[in-house]
Chains A and B, each alone.
Chain A
Amino acid sequence: MTETAQYPGVGLVETQTVELFTDEPLQLENGETLGPITVAYEVYGALNERRDNAILLCHALSGGAHAAGYHPGDQKPGWWDIMIGPGKAFDTDRYCMICPNVLGSCYGTTGPSSINPKTGKPYALNFPVVTVPDMVNVEAKLLDHLGIETLLCVAGGSMGGMVALQWAVSYPQRVKSTLAIASTHQHSPQQIAFNEVARQSIMADPAWNKGDYYDSDGPTMGLAIGRMVGHVTYLSEEGMRRKFGRRLRDRERFGYDFSLDFEVESYLRHQGQSFVSRFDANSLLYLTKALDYFDLSIGYSSLTEAFGGARGSLFLLIAFSSDWLYPPHHLKEVARAIRRSGGDATYYEIHSDYGHDAFLLEYEKQEPLVRSFLKRAQTAWREQDAQRA
């Protein structure tokens, strides 16, 4: 079998790493400093001569730098492979995609499970509490390192959408367009509440040991239960009805015990268990905290004012009708604030009963929008340049 047949799309890819903030540490929002910081990232496609085709991809809470293609031996491609590749919405023949893992995560970029150079041991809870603006500052440094001054687009869904919107607010001069999907401008009390349940579940597990568990299996039960809560919020009532109904798992009648009766229980347990082997509990604490602190209007008098600097930039905001974790009215409010500030926002609501998960499932409906939007952003940028010249 040839390599292309075995690994379709962008094919075999490799996660790269770079050490940043080696001379001067990163100034964090909480007042502390952090450095050096390792950043893991993947690149698909190539920068063109005009250097106007760079797109930054931002992953969701449990995602990483591996957005597309295959690592050697893998059966499954990266998390957004369906959208990235030759001829796809993020067309690697036209654009150069860069996908970094965020600060605080556990997929190669410095986070609580990384080794603290001062102690030679994992940071654990000595890792500073980081925020979404901190993540963006790290990514900006990565772009400096890669020699990319301006992005054609910064794009992401869920947490990735928040990171993308933060980019537009923090570095409006460096971003020509922003694509945020199934996301928000500010974590609501309901979103904070679900995150708090996940955190308490981890911290109530004795094996968490105040975050100091890296020489053992760690809080596997707490992490699994935290993830189960998460998965409930990613689905919708109608979607669950369709997917599981009240079907029983491997039995004809109720067991009248607490083993396992329903399909939906089996699904959640499986999601919880499989998460344990691939994610760090402390990273979940830090990332959910960063999301709970997230509010684009911090430091501004209003959300409208926050977008004031991004007037020259284009926005595409996509929401899903049954997403109750980040309901459509959140991004609709973002669109309204952008227009109030004099900016250009397209808002689109996809009818779907997949809930929040629709962001990764309803790709056929997103594909034509993303494709047209990127083309429009590049045309607008080139027209601006032509006018200036």
Chain B
Amino acid sequence: MPEQLANRTRIYQWICEQAPQGGRVLDIGCGEGELLAQLVAKRGVKAVGIELSEECVVKAVERGLSVHHGNAEEGIDHYPDASFDLVILSLAIQEMHEPLHVIREAFRIGRQLLIVFPNFGYWRARWQLCFTGHAPKTESFPYTWHSSPNRHFFTVADWDDFCREENLRCVRRAFLDNGRHVKFCPNLRSEVALYLLEQITPRR
């Protein structure tokens, strides 16, 4: 199985395990709606997606999903507080214009946030930068410097700092490398990180 596909299968599996049965779920950057369709089938959730790509929206609608075609910022700011049980940002936050705003909004409109991001501290990335002198290219970062949709590069350690600053409590987390769970030293050994988070003190 290709490495990325192996990770994706595991990511979907992990998210399905965390999603509340029959809950209201928003997937920001839902792509073709594959994950949401799984959540509807396996967990009976009430699903809503946001997606920027025209082609992806068509595929998601064909899966019977309710989708907003547009960017994350305009797709979420109108929702009343606590509209969702779970907001998902799966491999999307690193591409967003205003990640901080989107994360804070996610906690306003949702009870929990499930975020999946590529770990820039992964040993292969470090190796390439350190020993070849080239910007890293891995399964999670398969782009050249000019073709990359990614705007933000951060590590598991950066994310933990961020959670402390924002008063976010980690309910559960997981780390993946080539479709396998990583327990030990995730900032070095994991390619992808998955966090289920809650806000400790609701932001005003």
Contacts and interface: CB of A to CB of B under 8 A. Distances in A.
Interface of A: 314, 316, 332, 335-337, 339-340, 344-351, 365, 368-369, 372-373, 375-376, 379
23 contacts: A316-B61, A332-B70, A335-B68, A336-B78, A339-B78, A339-B79, A345-B66, A345-B68, A346-B65, A346-B66, A346-B68, A347-B69, A348-B54, A348-B61, A349-B69, A349-B70, A350-B54, A368-B61, A369-B62, A372-B62, A375-B64, A376-B64, A379-B64
Nearest to B57: A348
Q: Which among B48, B69, B80 has the greatest number of chain A C-beta atoms within 10 A?
A: B69
Contacts, number: 52
B74 A340 contact: no
B67 interface: yes
Chain B: interface residue count, which band? 10 to 19
Nearest to B69: A348
Nearest to B51: A348
Interface of B: 48, 54, 57-58, 61-70, 74, 78-80, 83
A332 B61 CA distance: 17
Contacts of A373: 61
Contacts of B80: 340
The 9 closest A-B pairs by CB, nearest first: A336-B78, A376-B64, A372-B62, A348-B69, A346-B66, A344-B66, A372-B61, A347-B68, A346-B67
Given A340-B80, A346-B66, 8 more contacts: A339-B79, A346-B65, A347-B68, A348-B54, A351-B54, A365-B58, A369-B62, A372-B62
Contacts of B57: 348
A350 B69 CA distance: 9
Given A351-B54, A373-B61, A340 B78 contact: yes
Contacts of B58: 348, 365, 368-369
A340 B74 CA distance: 13
A69 B69 CA distance: 33
B55 to A, nearest CB: 10
Contacts of A314: 66
A278 B61 CA distance: 38
A332 B64 contact: no
A336 B80 CA distance: 11
B75 to A, nearest CB: 9
Contact of A348 (B48, B67, B83): B67
A368 B69 CA distance: 15
B69 A369 contact: no
Given A339-B79, A340-B79, A372 B67 contact: no
Contacts of A340: 78-80
Nearest to A379: B64
Greatest chain B CB density within 10 A among A335, A351, A365 is at A335
A212 B69 CA distance: 49
Contacts of B48: 344
A372 B66 contact: no
Contacts of B62: 368-369, 372
A108 to B, nearest CB: 35
A302 B173 CA distance: 42
Contacts of A350: 54
B30 to A, nearest CB: 12
A75 to B, nearest CB: 33
A318 to B, nearest CB: 9
Contacts of A335: 68
Contact of A347 (B54, B64, B70, B79): B70
A368 B56 CA distance: 12
B74 A332 contact: yes
Nearest to B65: A346
A365 B58 CA distance: 9
A264 B62 CA distance: 39
Contacts of A339: 78-79, 83
A215 B34 CA distance: 64
A379 B123 CA distance: 48
A369 B58 CA distance: 6
A336 B83 CA distance: 13
A8 B66 CA distance: 34
Contacts of B69: 347-349
A346 B83 CA distance: 16
Contacts of A349: 54, 69-70
Nearest to A341: B80
A347 B49 CA distance: 11
A349 B63 CA distance: 18
Contacts of B67: 346-348
B105 to A, nearest CB: 14
Contacts of B68: 335, 345-347
Contacts of A344: 48, 66
A340 B109 CA distance: 11
B51 to A, nearest CB: 10
A176 B70 CA distance: 25
A155 to B, nearest CB: 15
Contacts of B70: 332, 347, 349
Nearest to B50: A347
Contacts of A351: 54
A21 B163 CA distance: 66
A313 to B, nearest CB: 12
